Structure 1
Amino acid sequence: MLLRLQALSKRFGRDWVIRDLSFTLERGEVVALLGPNGSGKTTLLRLMAGLLKPTRGRVERGGRPLFLANPPAFHRHLTAGEHLRYDLLFHGFHGQEGDWRGALARFGLPENLPLAAFSSGMRKRLALARLSLLKPDIWLLDEPETALDGEGRGLLLEVLAEARGQGGVVLATHDRALAEGVADRTLELGAA
């Protein structure tokens, strides 16, 4: 078991966003979260990552999670190379700093261009490069396909296949075709 939710609930003020949700993510599994805007997909990912505290219930993690926000957050004055080098050091990958150049090349990203000059699609590619480099056990992806062109979507599918082999994936998406193409099961969330 990589992730277990037990009667998980989250309320903001008087509004319940998630109510009594239970499920388990196993190693090698991809679960897609589907639902309209406001249905709690992003909130659920943040709960799984430990970025939010549940109102009730529990989240148990059997591995190291990493959350990809939509849109991904980066320091605009840093370059892609600087971001990946700092990420490796921050996450304790000492001695593997050389891997970041290969990740930039794989995802078609320039090393020394500040992120302020990146398009939305380039920032999403950098987020995917970061995930592929850090190799978490639990991949929590919020609309990973947004802003990607055809080549970027191909890279996303490669990353999802790698993620399945390294751990497990929960991805929130509006793209039913993507969910049905990559997920072992889907979890439909209703409007709040």
Structure 2
Amino acid sequence: MLRLEAVSKRFGRDWVLRDLTFTLARGEVVALLGPNGSGKTTLLKLMAGLLKPTRGRVVREGRALFLPNPPAFHRHLTAREHLLYDLAFHGREGDWQGALARYGLPEDLPLAAFSSGMKKRLALARLELLSPDLWLLDEPETALDTEGRELLLKALGKGRKGGGVVLATHDRALAEEAADRVLWLGAA
């Protein structure tokens, strides 16, 4: 599903990642743990194809979708408008109303009025609707309340069934509960 072969990434003179080899099997959830600045987000962006490695190779099968932290949305659009746009952009159809209902979100409220947790829920609803093969999540638990965390765990199960999930987190409990294994990143 995903393979990194001796991947290294440098920004200027600073190495963020060095000679990382990694394989994600279909149906697997892997958590990335490590301190701030250890390269978790950079690694997700490399996996998504948003960055190119300085050295090494990334081989990805299927469609990948990267969920940044915080998720990016247009403030003036509603949740309905966002999901309809995303579905049209990706050439897909889906039950956007059901997704909003499952994640407890209003249809017609502009995102400028959404809390951080509501935006995170909308990002999870988007992932569920677009159902990519590979989910790449940067701190998906951030800003979620207890109910939102339960929704995240259910969503991770759907991501596992759809292909695979890599999530960067500082939450060891989430990693232990949701992931099949943990990849620890330290300073390069």
TM-score scaled by length of structure 1: 0.96
1:1-192 alignment to 2 at 5 Å?
2-93=1-92, 96-97=93-94, 99-192=95-188
**Percent identity of equivalent pairs:** 80
2 CA distance for matches of 1:66 and 1:28? 16
CA deviations 1:132-154 (Å, max 9, x no partner) are 00001000000000000000000
Instruction: Kindly indicate whether the alpha-carbon contact (under 8 Å) linking 1:37 and 1:191 is maintained by their aligned counterparts in 2.
Output: no
2 CA distance for matches of 1:112 and 1:126? 13
2 CA distance for matches of 1:15 and 1:73? 27
2 CA distance for matches of 1:35 and 1:154? 23
Secondary structure, counterpart of 2:18 in structure 1: strand
2 CA distance for matches of 1:63 and 1:20? 24
Q: Which letter does structure 2 place at the counterpart of 1:65?
A: A
CA deviations 1:128-175 (Å, max 9, x no partner) are 000000001000000000000000000000000111111100000000
Secondary structure, counterpart of 1:146 in structure 2: coil
Secondary structure, counterpart of 1:132 in structure 2: helix
Instruction: Kindly indicate whether the alpha-carbon contact (under 8 Å) linking 1:128 and 1:156 is maintained by their aligned counterparts in 2.
Output: yes
Instruction: Kindly indicate whether the alpha-carbon contact (under 8 Å) linking 1:142 and 1:173 is maintained by their aligned counterparts in 2.
Output: yes
Q: Which letter does structure 2 place at the counterpart of 1:140?
A: L
CA deviations 1:69-115 (Å, max 9, x no partner) are 0000000110000000000010111xx25x11110011000000000
1 CA distance for matches of 2:78 and 2:115? 13
TM superposition outliers: structure 1 runs of 4+ over 3 Å: none
Question: CA shift at 1:63, angstroms?
Answer: 1.1
2 CA distance for matches of 1:186 and 1:50? 22
TM-score scaled by length of structure 2: 0.98
Q: Which letter does structure 1 place at the counterpart of 2:130?
A: L
Question: CA shift at 1:182, angstroms?
Answer: 1.0
Secondary structure, counterpart of 1:110 in structure 2: coil
2 CA distance for matches of 1:32 and 1:80? 28
Question: CA shift at 1:191, angstroms?
Answer: 2.4
